[in-house]
Amino acid sequence: MAELRFSALREVFNREPVTVRTPEKNVSKYFGINVFDLHKMEHYLSAEAFRVVKQAIELGKSLTREEANQVAIGLKAWALERGATHYTHWFHPLTEGTAEKHDGFIEMGERGHIVENFSGEVLVQSEPDASSFPSGGIRNTFEARGYTAWDVSSPVFIVGATLCIPTIFVSYTGEALDYKAPLLKALSALDKAATAVCRYFDRDVTKVIATLGCEQEYFLVDEALYYARPDLVLADRTLMGHQSAKDQQLSDHYFGSIPERIMSFIEDFECEAYKLGIPIKTRHNEVAPNQFECAPIYEEVNLAVDHNQLLMDVMKRIARKHKFRVLFHEKPFAGINGSGKHNNWSMQTNTGKNLLSPGKNPKSNLQFLTFLINVIKSVNDSNDLIRASVMSENNSYRLGGHEAPPTIISVFLGSYLTGMLDDIVNKVTDRKMTPAQKTELKLGIGKIPEILLDNTDRNRTSPFAFSGNRFEFRTVGSSANCSAAMIALNAAVAYQLVRFKKEVDLLIRKGRNKDEAIFQILKKYIQESQRVLFEGDNYSRDWHDEAARRGLSGIASVPDSLKAYLAGNSREVLISTGIFSEKELEGRVEVEFEKFTKKVQIEARVLGDLAINHIVPTGIRYMTSLIENVRGLKEIFDEAEFSKLAAESKDLIIRISDHISAIKKLENEMVEARKKANIITDSYIKAIEYENNVKPFLDKIRYHIDKLELIVDNEIWPLPKYRELLFTR
C-alpha cells in the first residue's frame, strides 16, 4: 500500500519545471485575442449589426432574429479564422462549476457535402437537455426542458477550438436555474436604485454599475501525491493527516520568492487568462505552505464573475500540464489557513465616479457618505441574508478558523470614518438646522481626504472591511461562484437605496431642504446600524460574546444559516426587487440543503473507506510486527530482562489496538447515523441531521487516524503525509 506513496514521492523529486513560451513578451500585444470584444465586433460585423449589439450591451436589450443572424455571420467568420470547430452555450448551473455542451459548426450542405454553419437562432438560444441539473424541485423530469439565452453583456470567447457563448439558464416555464439570471436582475435593480440616488447630487448620472475584483486563493499539490490521496481526489480536501512539525508558524512562505516550478505554472495560466481578456494583475505566495493568491484588475460584476469562473477553469486545466492539481477548496488541510475569495466591491457611475471614494468637495463627500452609510445599513438589515449567501459545507471548515473571518457579519470602517459618522450623529439635529450648524457640518465632511486609501487602517480580521475606496467582503469561499454573494449584496443595497430615496423624498415634500433631509436620514441609519459596526479583532472570543449581546447572530450551522434565505426580511429583499420569485427562491435553498447533505455524505463514505480499508489494515500490520518483536525478545531474554524490554512495545500494542477499535466502532456508528438520516425526506431536516449527527464523526474518526500516523512505522504508512503534500514540489 505504501508503494503508491513512495513512488509518488520519487516522481515529484524528479520533476522539472515545464518551460513556458508566452506568445509575445508584452501582454498588450495579445490580451483578449480569444475574445469577441467590441473592437473585433467593429471589424467583423456590418455597421448596422455592430450598432445593434453595442446598443443591446449598453441598454441590456435583446436582439431580434434578423439582428442575431447578422451578428452570427460576423461571429462565425471570426471564430473560423481562429480555428474554432464547435460552439457552446456556456452557463453557470447551481453546481460548483460551469456547464457546456458542444455542437460542431458542421452541417450537411445541399449537395451532400459538409459545410460550416452558424445561425442567429443558435447564437441567442439553445435547449440543452437539462434534466440532470439541480433545480430544487422546480422542474419535474417530465418537463425537464430548460433553455439557455445569450447574455449579450458578457463577450463571447474561444477556449481551445470551441466558441463559448455566455448564457443564462432558465426552465421552460421561465424560472432561473442558474446564478447568472438572478445576478443580472440584482445588478439591474442596483443600477436603477443607485442612479436615482445619484441624481440628488449629479444630474449627469444615468447609469451605475457595481464593480468587483476578487482575490483568489488556492493551494497546489503535485499530481502524483494528489492521486495517492483518495480524499483529495473525491472530496477535494484531506480528511486525515497529522499536522506537519513545521507548517506556517514562521510565516516564511508569505510573500516569499515563488518557487520555479510554481512560477512556471503561474506564468502559463496568466498567459491563457490574458488571451481570454482576464486582467490578472497580482500574484504572491500566501501564508500557508503551497498556498498562493492571484487577483485581477476589477471589472463590472457580471463580467468579473464570468472571468473568475473561467479563470478557475483555466487554472485547473493548465495545472494538469504542469503535473499539479490546484485546490480551490476552502479548507484542504486542517490546522493551517484556508482559502477565501475576497470580493472587493464598489459602485461606479457612467461619469466615471467611484461612489465609495470620497471626492474633492463637500457635495461629492455627501454623496460618498450617502452610499457608504446605505451599504452599512444594508449589511445591518440583511445581515442573515448576506451570511447565507456565502455559507456552504466547504466554507464551514474555514470560517472562524485560522486567519478567516467568523460567521458574524460586521463592518469595519477605520477610525477616521468612524469619527465622521459619530460627528454626523452628534451634529445633525432633528429640527431644522441653523445656517451656522450646516456650515460646520459641511466643513467637517469637506475635510474627508480624497485619498482615504492611504489614511485607512486596515483590519484583516473583518468580514466586511472598508478599504479606502471599496468594501472587501472576505467571507466568500475560494471555491464559490461569487454570484451568490453578489446577488445578496447588490440586492440588499438596491433594496436599501430605494427605501432611502423614499424617506428623503418624504422629508423634502415636508419642506426640508435636500441636504438636510439626506443628513437626517443618514443620521437615523447610523443609529440603527450600530450593532454591525465593529473595529476590533474579529477573531477574538470577546467579539463573539459582544456580538451576542448586540443581537448580531453568528449562526455557524450551515443549514440554519441557509434557512435565512427564506426568512421574512430576505424574502422581502429578494422578491420585492424582482430578483427571485417565491418558487425560485425556495428551489434554490432546496438545492443548497441537498448540496450540503451530499457533500457530508461523500466525505463520510470516503473517510469510512480509507479508515477501514487503508488505515486499520496498516495499523494491524504494524501491531503484528510489534507482537513478533515481543515474541523474539521473549526467546532471547530471561524473564526479568524481558519484562523490562517488552514493556514499551506492549504499551504501544495496546495503544494501537485501542485506536483501531475506536476507528471501527466510530465508523460503524457513522454508518448507522447515515442510515437514520437517509430516510428523512424533508431536505432541511435531513441537512440538520447530517450536520448534527453525521458530520461530527469525521473529526472523531480522524482524531484516531492522526494518532496512529504518529505511531506507525513511516515505511508502511499508505497516504502522503501533510509534510509531503505541503512541502514537496
Chain residues in the site for ligand ADP (CB under 6 A): 211-213, 215, 282, 295-298, 344-346, 354, 469-470, 472
Quick one: three-class SS letters along 453-506?
A: HHCCCCCCCCCEEECCCCEEECCCECCCCCHHHHHHHHHHHHHHHHHHHHHHHH
**134 vs 88, 173, 487, 592, 728, CA distance in Å?**
20, 16, 19, 9, 38
**Smaller CB separation from ligand ADP, 237 or 470:** 470
In the complex, minimum distance from the CB of residue 457 to ligand ADP, in angstroms, rounded to a whole number: 13
Collapsed DSSP state (helix, strand, coil) of residue 74: helix
Closest CA to 13 of 219, 220, 218, 224: 224
Nearest-angstrom CA–CA distance, 434 and 428:
10
In the complex, minimum distance from the CB of residue 293 to Mg ion, in angstroms, rounded to a whole number: 6
Given the DSSP bridges, would you call strands 106-108 and 114-116 parallel, antiparallel or unpaired?
antiparallel
**Smaller CB separation from Mg ion, 336 or 688:** 336
**Smaller CB separation from Mg ion, 215 or 223:** 215
In the complex, minimum distance from the CB of residue 288 to ligand ADP, in angstroms, rounded to a whole number: 15
In the complex, minimum distance from the CB of residue 283 to ligand ADP, in angstroms, rounded to a whole number: 9
**208 vs 58, 172, 545, 619, CA distance in Å?**
12, 32, 39, 63
Beta-bridge partner residues of 164: 88, 157
- Binding segment (CB under 5 A) for Mg ion, from list 49-57, 80-88, 212-220, 314-322: 212-220
**Contact partner, 516, from ligand ADP, Mg ion, none, Cβ < 5-8 Å per class:** none
**Contact partner, 297, from Mg ion, ligand ADP, none, Cβ < 5-8 Å per class:** ligand ADP
- Binding segment (CB under 5 A) for Mg ion, from list 137-145, 210-218, 242-250, 397-405: 210-218
Taking residue 38's Cβ as centre, other Cβ atoms within 10 Å add up to 14
Q: Please state at what angle helix 514-528 crosses helix 415-427, rounded to 10 degrees.
A: 120
Nearest-angstrom CA–CA distance, 245 and 401:
19
Residue nearest to Mg ion (CB): 215
**Contact partner, 618, from ligand ADP, Mg ion, none, Cβ < 5-8 Å per class:** none
**Smaller CB separation from ligand ADP, 216 or 394:** 216
**Smaller CB separation from ligand ADP, 215 or 667:** 215
In the complex, minimum distance from the CB of residue 214 to ligand ADP, in angstroms, rounded to a whole number: 7
In the complex, minimum distance from the CB of residue 448 to ligand ADP, in angstroms, rounded to a whole number: 17
In the complex, minimum distance from the CB of residue 469 to ligand ADP, in angstroms, rounded to a whole number: 5
Closest CA to 221 of 311, 331, 323, 336: 323
**Smaller CB separation from ligand ADP, 212 or 408:** 212
- Binding segment (CB under 5 A) for Mg ion, from list 85-93, 207-215, 377-385, 602-610: 207-215
The distance in angstroms from the start CA to the end CA of the chain is 22
In the complex, minimum distance from the CB of residue 328 to Mg ion, in angstroms, rounded to a whole number: 16
Residue with cell 500585444: 29
Closest CA to 266 of 253, 283, 290: 283
**300 vs 178, 213, 351, CA distance in Å?**
19, 9, 15
**Contact partner, 470, from Mg ion, ligand ADP, none, Cβ < 5-8 Å per class:** ligand ADP
**Smaller CB separation from ligand ADP, 342 or 704:** 342
Residues 93 and 134: beta-carbon distance below 8 Å: yes
**Smaller CB separation from Mg ion, 191 or 215:** 215
Residues 254 and 285: beta-carbon distance below 8 Å: yes
In the complex, minimum distance from the CB of residue 282 to ligand ADP, in angstroms, rounded to a whole number: 5
The per-residue DSSP string of 159-227 comes to ETTEEEEEEEEEETTS-B-BSHHHHHHHHHHHHHHHHHHHTTT-TT---EEEEEEEEEEEEEEEHHHHH
**Smaller CB separation from ligand ADP, 395 or 459:** 459
From candidates 67, 215, 299, 381, binder to Mg ion by CB under 5 A: 215
In the complex, minimum distance from the CB of residue 64 to Mg ion, in angstroms, rounded to a whole number: 44
**Smaller CB separation from ligand ADP, 466 or 565:** 466
Nearest-angstrom CA–CA distance, 383 and 401:
20
In the complex, minimum distance from the CB of residue 489 to ligand ADP, in angstroms, rounded to a whole number: 12
In the complex, minimum distance from the CB of residue 52 to ligand ADP, in angstroms, rounded to a whole number: 30
**Smaller CB separation from Mg ion, 215 or 270:** 215
Angle, vertex CA 81, rays to CA 80 and CA 85, nearest 5? 30
Nearest-angstrom CA–CA distance, 45 and 70:
7
Closest CA to 52 of 43, 42, 149, 157: 42
Q: Please, which residues have CB within 8 angstroms of residue 210's CB and are 6 or more apart in sequence?
A: 187, 190, 300, 301, 345, 346, 347, 348, 486, 490
In the complex, minimum distance from the CB of residue 101 to Mg ion, in angstroms, rounded to a whole number: 36
**533 vs 21, 461, 481, 499, 527, CA distance in Å?**
49, 13, 27, 21, 10
**Smaller CB separation from ligand ADP, 282 or 540:** 282
- Binding segment (CB under 5 A) for Mg ion, from list 51-59, 208-216, 396-404, 425-433: 208-216
Residue with cell 471564430: 79
Nearest-angstrom CA–CA distance, 528 and 508:
21
**Smaller CB separation from ligand ADP, 126 or 410:** 410
The footprint of Mg ion on residues 437-476 (CB under 5 A) is: none
Alpha helices, H only, 199-328: 223-227, 230-235, 260-275, 301-321
Nearest-angstrom CA–CA distance, 160 and 90:
14
**Contact partner, 243, from ligand ADP, Mg ion, none, Cβ < 5-8 Å per class:** none
**Contact partner, 344, from ligand ADP, Mg ion, none, Cβ < 5-8 Å per class:** ligand ADP
In total, the chain counts a number of residues equal to 729
The footprint of Mg ion on residues 262-321 (CB under 5 A) is: none
Cell numbers for 668: 460503524
**Contact partner, 264, from ligand ADP, Mg ion, none, Cβ < 5-8 Å per class:** none
**Smaller CB separation from ligand ADP, 376 or 504:** 376
**Contact partner, 211, from Mg ion, ligand ADP, none, Cβ < 5-8 Å per class:** ligand ADP
Closest CA to 507 of 482, 492, 524: 524
**Smaller CB separation from ligand ADP, 289 or 468:** 468
In the complex, minimum distance from the CB of residue 91 to ligand ADP, in angstroms, rounded to a whole number: 24
**Contact partner, 241, from ligand ADP, Mg ion, none, Cβ < 5-8 Å per class:** none
In the complex, minimum distance from the CB of residue 342 to Mg ion, in angstroms, rounded to a whole number: 7
By rule CB under 5 A, what count of residues binds Mg ion?
1
516 binds Mg ion (CB under 5 A): no
Residue nearest to ligand ADP (CB): 213
Which residues would be at the binding site for Mg ion (CB under 5 A)? 215
